[in-house]
Amino acid sequence: MWIGVVSLFPEMFDALTQQGVVGRAVEKQRIALEFWNPRDYATDRHRSVDDRPYGGGPGMLMKVDTLRSAIFAARERAQQATGLVPTVIYLSPQGRKLDQQGVQALASAGPLVVVAGRYEGIDERVVESDIDEEWSIGDYVLSGGELPAMVLIDAAARLIPGVLGHQDSAVEDSFNDGLLDCPHYTRPEVIDGRQVPEVLLSGNHAAIKRWRLKQSLGRTWQRRPDLLEGRTLDAEQHKLLNEFIEEHAL
Ligand SMILES: Nc1nonc1C(=O)NC1CCNCC1
């Protein structure tokens, strides 16, 4: 998967590329990550990358010409590297809320150019003319689009074949099947009197799988009932959820 990033702080992405799942994916060339910094296109003495908003008001916007130069360069490189026209993504609170379904769509959308905004954001005409999709990682305001971009890249990378090792599977990740994750346990068997559920020590893999699905369904029902709305449960899932509800009835 080819991803171009437009950011004033490309060094922030070292947190993603120097270690962990994405770091290994880059090393294994499952993912190609390239960066364009609008500041590299600044021609004035101060290498300006921000500009004042029309109509006044607090804060600045990203300067149009340096931003667009970086986007165009990234888009050009995407086509050169992949032969495909990239999807240009802009991260902002005004975007579509990112969820696993959206991540799956982005992970299979071909090359991406991800634009990380700073200041109060970018000129609306740049959104209209140069951005294909606007996405938000949540209803809160951050200092920059770099962390949202890293969230998107990390989540998408996990879905690229060959990125996750055998030791962790994107398939069992919560939200991959639209449910919350089941509880997990590791050594020791007792922590301050709290035991590991017996079934997990039984070696009965069918029972363990059943227990985990039941816990996922139950926790989703308890904590995020919205995720179950419109979802069709099969007979087994209905049975498990009903068992969970009975066991947890107050
Ligand atoms: N939430 C968000 N999901 O994506 N981007 C988000 C965000 O807060 N961006 C900042 C908005 C203010 N300007 C700097 C960037």
Instruction: Write down the pLDDT at residue 177.
Output: 84
Contacts of 85 (CB under 8 A, 6+ apart): 75, 78, 79, 110, 111
* Distance from the alpha carbon of residue 20 to the mean position of ligand 1, in angstroms: 24
Counting other chains too, the contacts that 56-60 makes at CB distance below 8 Å and 24 or more residues apart are 58/120, 59/119, 59/120, 60/119, 60/120
Separation of 239 CA from ligand 1 center, angstroms? Answer: 42
Ligand 1: lining residues by beta carbon, under 6 Å: 91-93, 117-118, 120-121, 136-138, 140-142, 144-145, 148
Is 171's pLDDT higher than 90?
Answer: no
pLDDT per position as a tens digit, 74-118: 999 999 999 999 999 999 999 999 999 999 999 999 999 999 999
Average pLDDT, the chain: 95
ipTM: 0.99
Say yes or no to pLDDT of 170 above 90. Answer: no
Residue of 34, 173, 181, 243 marked active site: 173
Backbone phi, psi, residue 37, to 5°: -110, 120
- DSSP strands (E only) in the chain: 2-6, 32-36, 50-51, 61-62, 87-97, 112-116, 133-136, 190-191, 194-195
Residues 23-55: tens digit of each pLDDT: 999 999 999 999 999 999 999 999 999 999 999
Between CA 221 and CA 217 the distance in angstroms is: 6
